[in-house]
Structure 1
Amino acid sequence: MTTEERELIAQAYDQGVLRVLVATCSLAAGVNLPARRVIINGARMGRELVGPAMLRQMCGRAGRKGKDSSGETYLICVKADLEAVCDLLDADMPAIASCLAPEKRGLKRALLEAVATGLVSGFEAIKEYVRCTLLFLSLDKKLVYSIMDSALQELINEGLLLLKDDESYGATLLGQAVVASAFSPEDGLYVHEGLKRALEAFVMDGDMHVFYMFTPLQVAMSNPIDWQVFRDQLDRLDESGLRALQYVGVQPGFVNTMVQSGASLKGTTPDQLKQARVYRRAYTAFQLRDLSNEVPLATIAQRYKTPRGSIQTLAQQCHGFAAGIVKFCQRMNWGMLAAVLDHMRDRLEAGARADLLEMAQVTFVKSWTARLLRENGFKGLRSLAEANPKDLVPILMMRSVKGDVNTYAVRSIPGRHRKISFIQLKQNDREMQVELEE
Structure 2
Amino acid sequence: MLKTYKSFFKQNIIPVNLDQYVPKVELKEYLKLNDRIYEVDSKAENGMTFSRVLNYKYSDTLKKMDPDHLVALVTEVIPNYSCLVFCPTKKNCENVAEMICKFLSKEYLKHREKEKDEVIKNLKSISSGTLCPVLKHTIPFGVAYHHSGLTSEERRLLEEAYSSGVLCLFTCTSTLAAGVNLPARRVILRAPYVAKEFLKRNQYKQMIGRAGRAGIDTIGESILILQEKDKQQVSELISRPPENCYSHLVQEFTKGIQSLFLSLIGLKIATNLGDIHHFMNGTFFGVQQKILLKEKSLWEVTVESLRHLTEKGLLQKDTINNSEEECRCDFHITKLGRASFKGTIDLAYCDILYRDLKKGLEGLVLESFLHLIYLTTPYDLVPQCDPDWMVYFRQFSQLSPAEQSVASRLGVSESFIGKKASGQAIRKKVDKNIVNRLYLSFVLYTLLKETNVWSVSEKFNMPRGYIQNLLTGAASFSSCVLHFCEELEEFWVYRALLVELIKKLTYCVKAELIPLMEVTGVQEGRAKQLFNAGYKSLTHLANADPEVLVRTIDHLSRRQAKQIVSSAKMLLQEKAEALQEEVEELLRLPPDFPGTMAASIEKA
State the TM-score bracket (shorter-chain normalisation).
0.7 to 0.9
- Partner residue, 1:431: none
Q: Which amino acid counterpart does residue 143 of structure 1 have in structure 2?
A: S
Per-residue deviation at 1:68? 3.2
CA distance in 1, matches of 2:540, 2:159: 36
Which of the numbers 342, 359, 363 marks the counterpart of 2:516? 359
Asked if residue 135 in structure 1 is aligned to residue 285 in structure 2, the reply is yes
Asked if residue 335 in structure 1 is aligned to residue 492 in structure 2, the reply is yes
| 1:326-384 per-position Cα deviation (integer Å, ceiling 9, x unaligned) | 11011223333111111111111110243332122234545566457546644312334
CA distance in 2, matches of 1:34, 1:102: 33
- Partner residue, 2:81: none
Asked if residue 8 in structure 1 is aligned to residue 157 in structure 2, the reply is yes
Q: What SS class does the counterpart of residue 297 from structure 2 fall into?
A: helix
- Partner residue, 1:210: 372
Whether the 8 Å contact between 2:451 and 2:510 is mirrored in structure 1 is no
Long gaps (5+) in structure 1: 265-270, 398-408, 418-438
Which of the numbers 289, 293, 306 marks the counterpart of 1:152? 306
Q: Which amino acid counterpart does residue 564 of structure 2 have in structure 1?
A: S
- Partner residue, 2:463: 307
Structure 2 matches for 1:16-415, cutoff 5 A? 16-101=165-250, 104-105=253-254, 106-140=256-290, 142-165=296-319, 167-261=329-423, 275-333=431-489, 334-363=491-520, 365-367=522-524, 370=527, 374=531, 377-385=534-542, 386=544, 388-389=548-549, 392-393=552-553, 412-413=564-565, 414-415=567-568
CA distance in 1, matches of 2:214, 2:516: 44
Q: Which amino acid counterpart does residue 380 of structure 2 have in structure 1?
A: Q
CA distance in 1, matches of 2:222, 2:376: 44
CA distance in 2, matches of 1:294, 1:382: 27
CA distance in 1, matches of 2:527, 2:213: 42
Q: What SS class does the counterpart of residue 22 from structure 1 fall into?
A: strand
CA distance in 1, matches of 2:424, 2:163: 46
Per-residue deviation at 1:65? 3.9
Sort the Cα spacing of 1:34 and 1:369 in 2 relative to 1 into closer, same or farther, 3 A: closer
Per-residue deviation at 1:187? 1.7
Sort the Cα spacing of 1:67 and 1:210 in 2 relative to 1 into closer, same or farther, 3 A: farther
CA distance in 2, matches of 1:363, 1:292: 22
| 1:255-296 per-position Cα deviation (integer Å, ceiling 9, x unaligned) | 1111111789xxxxxx98x81211111111112112222431
TM-score (norm 2): 0.62
Q: What SS class does the counterpart of residue 277 from structure 1 fall into?
A: helix
Q: Over alpha carbons, which structure has the higher Rg?
A: 2
| 1:192-218 per-position Cα deviation (integer Å, ceiling 9, x unaligned) | 111111223211222100111121111
CA distance in 1, matches of 2:522, 2:355: 37
Q: What SS class does the counterpart of residue 114 from structure 1 fall into?
A: helix
Per-residue deviation at 1:301? 0.5
- Partner residue, 1:403: none
Whether the 8 Å contact between 1:13 and 1:19 is mirrored in structure 2 is yes
Whether the 8 Å contact between 1:63 and 1:70 is mirrored in structure 2 is yes
Q: What SS class does the counterpart of residue 185 from structure 1 fall into?
A: coil
Sort the Cα spacing of 1:103 and 1:367 in 2 relative to 1 into closer, same or farther, 3 A: closer
Answer with 301-310 or 130-139: which moved more: 130-139
Q: What SS class does the counterpart of residue 203 from structure 1 fall into?
A: coil
Per-residue deviation at 1:153? 1.1
Answer with 370-379 or 96-105: which moved more: 370-379
Q: Which amino acid counterpart does residue 110 of structure 1 have in structure 2?
A: L
Q: Which amino acid counterpart does residue 222 of structure 1 have in structure 2?
A: Q
Sort the Cα spacing of 1:192 and 1:305 in 2 relative to 1 into closer, same or farther, 3 A: same
Answer with 199-208 or 73-82: which moved more: 199-208
CA distance in 1, matches of 2:396, 2:551: 43
Q: What SS class does the counterpart of residue 286 from structure 1 fall into?
A: helix
Per-residue deviation at 1:229? 0.7
CA distance in 2, matches of 1:355, 1:132: 53
- Partner residue, 1:430: none
CA distance in 2, matches of 1:262, 1:88: 47
CA distance in 2, matches of 1:322, 1:68: 46
CA distance in 1, matches of 2:184, 2:529: 42
Whether the 8 Å contact between 2:541 and 2:568 is mirrored in structure 1 is no
- Partner residue, 1:425: none
| 1:59-104 per-position Cα deviation (integer Å, ceiling 9, x unaligned) | 1101144453221100001111111111111122111111111564
Q: What SS class does the counterpart of residue 119 from structure 1 fall into?
A: coil
Sort the Cα spacing of 1:372 and 1:114 in 2 relative to 1 into closer, same or farther, 3 A: same
Identity value in percent? 27
Whether the 8 Å contact between 1:25 and 1:58 is mirrored in structure 2 is yes
Answer with 4-13 or 99-108: which moved more: 99-108
CA distance in 1, matches of 2:473, 2:318: 38
CA distance in 1, matches of 2:252, 2:507: 38
Please tell me the root mean square deviation across aligned C-alpha atoms, in Å: 2.6
Whether the 8 Å contact between 2:519 and 2:568 is mirrored in structure 1 is no
Whether the 8 Å contact between 1:351 and 1:366 is mirrored in structure 2 is no
